[in-house]
Amino acid sequence: MTKFTDLNLDPKVLQAIADAGYESPTPIQQGAIPPALEGRDVLGIAQTGTGKTASFTLPMITLLSKGRARARMPRSLVLAPTRELAAQVAENFDTYTKHLKLTKALLIGGVSFKEQDALIDRGVDVLIATPGRLLDHFERGKLLLTGVQIMVVDEADRMLDMGFIPDIERIFSLTPFTRQTLFFSATMAPEIERITNTFLSGPARVEVARQATASETIEQGVVMFKGSRRDREGSEKRQVLRDLIDREGEDCRNAIIFCNRKTDVDVTAKSLKKYGFDAAPIHGDLEQSQRTKTLEGFRDGSLRFLVASDVAARGLDIPNVSHVFNFDVPSHAEDYVHRIGRTGRAGRSGKAIMICVPRDEKNLADIESLIEKTIPRIDLPNAPAAKPEGDAPEKADKPKRTRSRGKPKTDTAEAEAAETPTRDDVPTEVPAPQQKARGGRRGREDESKVVGMGDHMPSFIALSFAERRTG
């Protein structure tokens, strides 16, 4: 078995790895670190949870430990698609450079330019940035990229989804031709292939198996649900979600609830809160400070339910999530794999429950063909659809009458609920069992603390490794 000490890393980096409690390198680390240390370009096909961040940060730090930073000319650059991911990479750098004197700056939106300028002016070894913010700094004339010796592109497929590829191409062209490039993507879409063919030279290609095959520790289920009426579907679906959460009881220590649209993220979080669930939303339109606060709360256990969009949650390393609820069936089958991969990490058990309405059945079929298994159907006796015909919740009608008085009619029940929750979203009293479930949470959390590897055990354990495999 390969050991970290076999990998030629700087002794101080090895010390930091030992402090972090890592025993051996993950497959992506075994594959990417040696060529990266030789100065070669690396094309890593891996997703979050595989240890990929350390697979580029560890060799970078080792290489950078030998030189010095110059004012305004960072020696290395890491590009990440979202602020949270960039911040996560920065945290990794802090962990692994703790015995070295390397400087870093994090350039993300929502933070003042002044603070960031001051750091760059002093000179940094590592610049970690989202593409847009980096170009803003560049255009303000505060930054030179001609000193970049190592450039990392992380989560390239997400960059593609978010429309960042032109920015990435521009940034590549601003860095020296002689730079070393470490490029990571979970999938190899044709556009990504084109970029790597253009900007990487003779890369070592390292691929770890897709997580689609690695979710054995996650118990999956899907509830087939049909609203009593289209305009009631949203609120009835939220009722289904609450029932599902209740049914999990104390086993549901915490959960990420995924919605396909940002508006639904807000509506669902608001509705859950109204019912006494400890929930908060996270998506790209929220203030950075609020996103950071919400994530911190979820990580430290003070927030139980994180309602999220794919972009906001993709790639986030949040260990120890007991449940994932897919409020909507994702429209890209691969997103399902990413979403449920937030639970069941590091061999722990996890549960992923999805709600499927009739129009999403095609997407459900795509998911099942991707993961090559049928997701077990779960009955939900309390679901409105399971009630006899004509027994549609009468109260759903009433609040609309009251609420719409003196107000213009909104398009959908969701839009209405975003401003003023429908009456079935506003409980007169919070059901007792929920309170109990929440009350029991702290104790369980303590029990679930992992000894030795901390809370950082990733899901790569179940992944297999294929070096230089194509496709």
Residues making contact with ligand AMP (CB under 6 A): 22, 25-26, 29, 48-54, 317, 453, 456-458
CA distance 100 to 58: 12
- Radius of gyration for the chain, computed over Cα atoms and rounded to the nearest angstrom: 24
Of the candidates 52, 63, 91, 38, which has an alpha carbon nearest to the alpha carbon of residue 465?
52
Shortest distance, position 260 Cβ to ligand AMP, whole Å: 24
Type of residue numbered 126: V
Residue closer to ligand AMP by CB (options 49, 399) is 49
Residue closer to ligand AMP by CB (options 157, 424) is 157
299-320 b/e with 16+ CB inside 10 Å = b?
beeebbbbbbbbbbbbbbbbbb
Shortest distance, position 399 Cβ to ligand AMP, whole Å: 44
Residue closer to ligand AMP by CB (options 22, 164) is 22
Shortest distance, position 48 Cβ to ligand AMP, whole Å: 4
Shortest distance, position 298 Cβ to ligand AMP, whole Å: 15
Shortest distance, position 54 Cβ to ligand AMP, whole Å: 4
270-287 b/e with 16+ CB inside 10 Å = b?
bbbbbbebebbbbbeebe
Phi, psi for 272 (deg, rounded to 5): -60, -45
Shortest distance, position 326 Cβ to ligand AMP, whole Å: 21
Shortest distance, position 353 Cβ to ligand AMP, whole Å: 24
Handedness of CA 164, 169, 173, 179 (dihedral sign): positive
Residue closer to ligand AMP by CB (options 336, 460) is 460
Residue closer to ligand AMP by CB (options 150, 417) is 150
Residue closer to ligand AMP by CB (options 77, 457) is 457
Shortest distance, position 365 Cβ to ligand AMP, whole Å: 30
Of the candidates 330, 326, 328, 356, which has an alpha carbon nearest to the alpha carbon of residue 343?
326
CA distance between the termini of the chain: 27
**Cβ atoms of residues 32 and 182 within 8 Å:** yes
**Cβ atoms of residues 151 and 181 within 8 Å:** yes
Residue closer to ligand AMP by CB (options 25, 399) is 25
Phi, psi for 229 (deg, rounded to 5): -150, 150
List CB contacts of 428: < 8 A, sequence separation 6 or more: none
Residue closer to ligand AMP by CB (options 50, 215) is 50
Shortest distance, position 144 Cβ to ligand AMP, whole Å: 29
Shortest distance, position 309 Cβ to ligand AMP, whole Å: 19
CA distance 264 to 373: 28
Shortest distance, position 15 Cβ to ligand AMP, whole Å: 15
Looking at 140-274, list the stretches that DSSP marks H as alpha helix, in order from N- to C-terminal side.
156-161, 165-174, 190-199, 233-248, 262-274
Burial class (CB in 10 A: 0-12, 13-18, 19+), 358: exposed
Collapsing DSSP to helix, strand or coil, 203 comes out as coil
Residue closer to ligand AMP by CB (options 22, 327) is 22
Residue closer to ligand AMP by CB (options 51, 421) is 51
Residue that is written with structure tokens 């959960």 in the block: 255
Distance of CA 130 to the CA centre of its chain: 15
Residue that is written with structure tokens 């010095």 in the block: 68
Residue closer to ligand AMP by CB (options 370, 450) is 450
**Cβ atoms of residues 15 and 40 within 8 Å:** no
Shortest distance, position 470 Cβ to ligand AMP, whole Å: 22
User: Bridge partners of 43?
Assistant: 183, 205
Residue closer to ligand AMP by CB (options 96, 225) is 96
What are the DSSP calls for 60-96, one per residue? HHHHHTTS--BTTB-SEEEE-SSHHHHHHHHHHHHHH
Collapsing DSSP to helix, strand or coil, 421 comes out as coil
